[in-house]
Amino acid sequence: MEEKSEGEFLPRGIVDLKILPSSKGEFLPRDIVDLYILPRLPLKSLCRFKSVCPRWKTQISLILPTPPNLVYSNCRNSNLSFLTVKENPICEPHLSPQFLRNKRNQVIASCNGLLVFWDKTSGSFYIYNPVTGEADLIPDCPDITENFYNLQNVMVESVGLAFDPSKPNPCYKLVFPIENYVDEIDAHKMHFMVFSSETNRWEISRANINLPSVSDRFSFGSLSFYIGGHLYWILQSSNDILEFDPDGNHACLIPFGAQVNANYNVTIGEWEGRLTCTTIIRGRDIEVWIMNEQQRFSKMYSIGLETILGERGIDIQFLWPLPCEGGKVVLFRMRLTVFSYDPKKRELQEFQIPNDDVLFLYPYEFIVYKKSLVPIPKMPNEP
């Protein structure tokens, strides 16, 4: 086997002949260390281990949080397209996996390096790691109309993905929010259908909550975020955040607090392990709110759009916030231009979406993504 230079990593499934000695004189293959041990270590340990050697520094840089990346489905050919605030040439993702070809696929969820695709033709779901190229077909969801007779809304495009690779024997879970009308109490309830890779089956969660009275169907204003073991969505028809614990079968509504109305565009994100809400007050300001341990929101930033955009001649009436992970920058979009603004440095960057990539993209079709070498957990009966 050809010897690999420092800073270079091996393709999945190949064991390097250069192996790492342990303190007892035993040896561990490099691909075991890179793919199965390092990705599951806590952040504090990874930061220390970057100083072990140049190769570990390179490898761990793939695991540590990277600058915000956005991924979206290319409407013309169903491939993936990526936007990143800072280019990272190491381990570029696979942009056109085999299972995407000749299908009407849409990327609908992301969590810790894994993506979920929905095949609009067949209704199937795929789990995919763009760095390693691994992909799995998820078993079809059973017919839920037998359990919900007054089914109002099955929110396929708002499926949540929960995955924590640092846990022992990690598994991933897909969560379907389901709105159902209950005649007996004359109210709408939110239920959850959950798929677990550990059991390889779908189940209806015991968790359900009453929804506020609204005049039309309930809908989500953004895609989901997985933070601290919980999934979050912001609800378009109210000022509430929907929280669901996929392990504890618990759900609740959290008041956002800010008065969101027709003049506000809003999305959720993450900052240092805490949930954020980014709002754009049409024609005025960008505000970033952060949730504390008591599930109350406080304002972190309030920045005038004219201050950010200056003399660029941009119509500030039609800007949409985009999801962001990390909190160091604020992302927003107008048509085919994505803006990244650093409030501390007061720096603004622009990124153009190629015209060939997209016919039309709603803001919630952009999904935060970060690279990871973590393997996809195997389902039972898989080799």
pLDDT at 116: 92
Least confident of 78-92, 189-203, 341-355: 78-92
pLDDT at 8: 39
18: Cβ–Cβ under 8 A, 6 or more apart, which residues?
A: 3, 4, 30
Alpha helix ranges (H) inside 30-147: 30-32, 43-49, 54-61
Alpha helix ranges (H) inside the chain: 30-32, 43-49, 54-61, 305-309
Mean pLDDT, residues 344-360: 72
pLDDT tens digits along 187-244:
778 889 999 999 999 999 999 888 876 544 456 656 889 999 999 998 876 778 999 9
> For the chain, how are helix, strand and coil distributed in percent, rounded to 5?
10, 40, 50
Residue % of the chain over a pLDDT of 70: 70
* pLDDT of 270 higher than 70: yes
Of the candidates 85, 6, 132, the one whose C-alpha atom is nearest the C-alpha of residue 325 is 85
SS3 215: coil
Among 61-70, 101-110, 173-182, 312-321, top mean pLDDT goes to 173-182
Of the candidates 107, 203, 114, the one whose C-alpha atom is nearest the C-alpha of residue 157 is 107
Structural contact between residues 82 and 346, judged by C-beta atoms closer than 8 angstroms = no
223: Cβ–Cβ under 8 A, 6 or more apart, which residues?
A: 108, 109, 157, 158, 233, 323, 364, 367
Tokens for 275, please give them: 């949930």
Of the candidates 10, 219, 232, the one whose C-alpha atom is nearest the C-alpha of residue 111 is 232
Mean pLDDT, residues 308-326: 78
pLDDT at 150: 56
Whole-angstrom distance, CA of residue 331 vs CA of residue 312: 17
Residue 312 — pLDDT band, cuts 50, 70, 90?
A: confident
Of the candidates 121, 114, 83, the one whose C-alpha atom is nearest the C-alpha of residue 97 is 114
Parallel, antiparallel, or unpaired: how do β-strands 187-196 and 160-163 relate?
unpaired
Taken in order of first residue, the domains within the chain and their CATH numbers are: 1-64 (no CATH), 69-369 (2.120.10.30)
Mean pLDDT, the chain, rounded, equals 76
260: Cβ–Cβ under 8 A, 6 or more apart, which residues?
A: 239, 266, 279
Helix and strand totals (H; E) in the chain:
4, 27
